[in-house]
């Protein structure tokens, strides 16, 4: 059977994905037969109560962990068939990450944190500089390039993380509870920024969240309960 046009365009495809963790003598099922396609340019929120499997799913898509069953494809590549080196390069070049705790390097400046992926890729220094300065200006951090994370507010640190996430022009940005550590006013500004990047740059965002502010903005909601997809709906 040939793929449908929609499936053929998928940048992420999960097919009956399961994940089981061993905790002592107990087996804990984090995901149970999840199938999901993500199309280019989506602004999608994975939501559900704690323990529903949303962060596990994000980690599997980001090649930070491996499924116990089923398969995951990114741009048509089956992650299970890739070597550790290939997976490392995939995470570096094709996936952007935005974490709840920002995960910035404390000894590096905002500029250096945002530049890191391009530096690892070996991009020409002048091209790197032009791109990073442009990105930091785009996310509202012009003039703050030399400040270290402890000299920035939580919202500003998350803006650095967003600039870092999109620096390599990834196929998708995976954002794990990106508004959890900021106040609601800052969360709204961050969501405005990510919506604009989605709209103007075509950046695909997949969020893990329980924040109503994120769910209100998402154009597609995938609700997980006990490791299963309970609802998959487009915004009205």
Taking the CB of residue 182, how many other CB atoms lie within 10 A of it? 20
Whether residue 116 is contained in a domain is answered as yes
Distance CA 57, CA 75 (A): 17
Residue 16's DSSP bridge partners are none
Whether residue 23 is contained in a domain is answered as no
Whether residue 29 is contained in a domain is answered as no
Q: Give me the pLDDT at residue 236, please.
A: 63
Whether residue 4 is contained in a domain is answered as no
Distance CA 220, CA 178 (A): 17
Number of domains in the chain: 1
Whether residue 35 is contained in a domain is answered as no
Whether residue 53 is contained in a domain is answered as yes
Going residue by residue through the chain, which has 236 residues, state the pLDDT in tens, using 9 for 90 and above: 333 334 558 999 999 999 999 888 899 999 999 999 999 999 999 999 888 999 999 999 999 999 999 999 999 999 999 999 999 999 999 999 998 888 899 999 999 999 999 999 999 999 999 999 999 999 999 999 999 999 999 999 999 999 999 999 999 999 999 988 888 898 999 999 999 999 998 999 999 998 899 999 999 999 999 999 999 998 76
Q: Give me the pLDDT at residue 3, please.
A: 39
Distance CA 202, CA 223 (A): 24
Query: pTM (2 decimals)?
Result: 0.91
Whether residue 24 is contained in a domain is answered as no
CATH of the domain at 100: 3.40.50.300
Kindly state the helix (H) or strand (E) to which residue 72 belongs, with its residue range: strand 69-74
Whether residue 158 is contained in a domain is answered as yes
* Residues spanned by the domain of 177: 41-64+89-234
Q: Give me 96's structure tokens.
A: 């952007």
C-alpha distance across the termini of the chain, in Å: 32
Encode pLDDT of 17-73 as tens digits: 999 998 888 999 999 999 999 999 999 999 998 889 999 999 999 999 999 999 999
């Amino acid at each position: 059977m040939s793929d449908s046009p929609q499936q053929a365009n998928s940048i992420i495809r999960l097919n009956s994905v399961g994940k089981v963790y061993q905790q002592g003598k107990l087996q804990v099922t984090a995901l149970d037969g999840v199938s999901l396609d993500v199309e280019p340019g989506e602004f999608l929120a994975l939501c559900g109560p704690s323990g529903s499997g949303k962060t596990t799913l994000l980690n599997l898509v980001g090649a930070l962990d491996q499924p116990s069953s089923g398969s995951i494809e990114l741009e048509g590549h089956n992650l299970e068939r890739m070597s550790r080196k290939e997976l490392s390069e995939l995470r570096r070049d094709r996936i952007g990450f935005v974490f709840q705790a920002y995960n910035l390097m404390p000894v590096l400046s905002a500029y250096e944190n945002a530049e890191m992926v391009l530096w690892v890729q070996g991009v020409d220094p002048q091209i790197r500089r032009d791109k990073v300065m442009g990105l930091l200006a785009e996310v509202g951090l012009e003039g703050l390039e030399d400040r270290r994370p402890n000299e920035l507010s939580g919202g500003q640190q998350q803006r650095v993380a967003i600039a870092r996430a999109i620096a390599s022009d990834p196929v998708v940005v995976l954002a794990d509870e990106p508004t959890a550590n900021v106040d609601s006013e800052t969360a709204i500004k961050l969501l405005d920024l990510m919506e604009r990047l989605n709209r103007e740059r075509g950046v695909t965002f997949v969020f893990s969240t329980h924040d109503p502010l994120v769910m209100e903005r998402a154009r597609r909601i995938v609700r997980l309960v006990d490791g299963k997809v309970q609802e998959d709906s487009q915004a009205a």
